[in-house]
Structure 1
Amino acid sequence: MAARRSAGLLVFRRARAGDGGIEVLIGHMGGPFWARRDQAAWSVPKGEYGPDERPEDAARREFLEELGLPVPEGEWLGLGEVRQAGGKTVTVWAVEGDLDPAAVVPGTFSMEWPPRSGALAEFPELDRVGWFTPEAAAPLLVTGQREFLERLVTRVRGRA
């Protein structure tokens, strides 16, 4: 069985405070499992891809599917890979842009709900999206994605 791989795109913008900081756009995962959780329940827009798809193409596709918005134009900064606790390898890029969270039209997924009911229910992939400083985003993100924030901050500071 092939290793599971996922690719995503972390959008960032220059903080409005003008202090040289940045903010990142992350989404709260939808569905009943995440409904009452906040910490470690947010994610970079990302998704799995197979051996016939380039990770960059998957990141672009997943961004559009999860947010319903096109990827911002701009230079993609590679943030590398992180192997998550469950064994999945996640590859993320960052791109500078400024999206309005109110414009997001999330994609949906179906699952049996309530459990063992035989009924399928549909849920948004991301039920809310917001801008956060890296410090505020870190505890919200699932643990395996926090490394990408650190890498982004290092990259952006190095370019300032």
Structure 2
Amino acid sequence: MTIRSAGILLYRAGSTGELELWIAHMGGPFWAHKDEHAWSIPKGEYLEDEDPLIAARREFAEEIGTPPPPGDYQLLGVFKQPSGKLITTFAAEAGSFQPEEIVSNTFPMEWPKGSGSIKEFPEIDDARWFRETTARTKLVKGQLPIVDALVRQLREEPNDGEPAPTRASGT
């Protein structure tokens, strides 16, 4: 059985015009002390007969604690992860999006492992804007093709005469 997830990648032009991405740090003890390749786009599983954009909006709200901002959500594609999971991803420009706090849903897990004690952990414990180059070092490696697709899409789309966000060379 193929596991399907739907997610949203928000983007904006940073203060110097560089592309910035909204990504989230995965919660739980496995990810607690990891930063590099420990972040993800907000996403979650959905059923095959469910509309992926509706699912992506729901999952975003569950993981971030606030609904995704209004916007023109464009399908970036379906991306196969190393695990075999398929992530249907949508992107939208969201320059002013900044929730006051991140309040994620939780999941139960035996912790410490083998203790018999079940604890609740947030699916997401942080989320914020990062320059594209920094986001590439933080995102799990299987999601880097999502960023590549967004960059390609932004280069191809006209945007009312405004220069498109460009890739930054630093962090």
TM-score (norm 2): 0.87
Distance (Å, rounded) in 2 between the aligned partners of 1:153 and 1:133: 12
The alpha carbon displacement at 1:50 in A equals 1.4
SS at match of 1:73: coil
Distance (Å, rounded) in 1 between the aligned partners of 2:46 and 2:104: 19
Distance (Å, rounded) in 2 between the aligned partners of 1:88 and 1:55: 14
The alpha carbon displacement at 1:85 in A equals 0.9
SS at match of 2:53: helix
Which residue number in structure 2 is paired with residue 139 of structure 1?
137
Contact 2:102 2:125 in 1 (8 A): no
Q: Deviations over 1:38-69 (max 9, x none)?
A: 11100000011112322111101100100011
Contact 1:79 1:148 in 2 (8 A): yes
Q: How does 1:73-152 map to 2 (within 5 A)?
A: 73-97=70-94, 98-152=96-150
Q: Deviations over 1:113-137 (max 9, x none)?
A: 1111111111111111111111110
Which residue number in structure 2 is paired with residue 30 of structure 1?
27
Corresponding letter in the other structure for 1:156:
L
Moved segments of 4+, more than 2 Å: 101-104, 157-160
Which residue number in structure 2 is paired with residue 63 of structure 1?
60
Mark the runs of 5 or more structure 2 residues left unpaired by the alignment.
158-163, 165-171
Mark the runs of 5 or more structure 1 residues left unpaired by the alignment.
none
Query: RMSD over aligned Cα, in angstroms?
Result: 1.3
Contact 1:110 1:122 in 2 (8 A): yes
The reply to whether residue 158 of structure 1 matches residue 156 of structure 2 is: yes
Which residue number in structure 2 is paired with residue 13 of structure 1?
12
Distance (Å, rounded) in 2 between the aligned partners of 1:50 and 1:132: 31
Alignment coverage as a number of residue pairs: 157
TM-score (norm 1): 0.92
Question: What percent identity do the matched residue pairs reach?
Answer: 47
SS at match of 2:54: helix
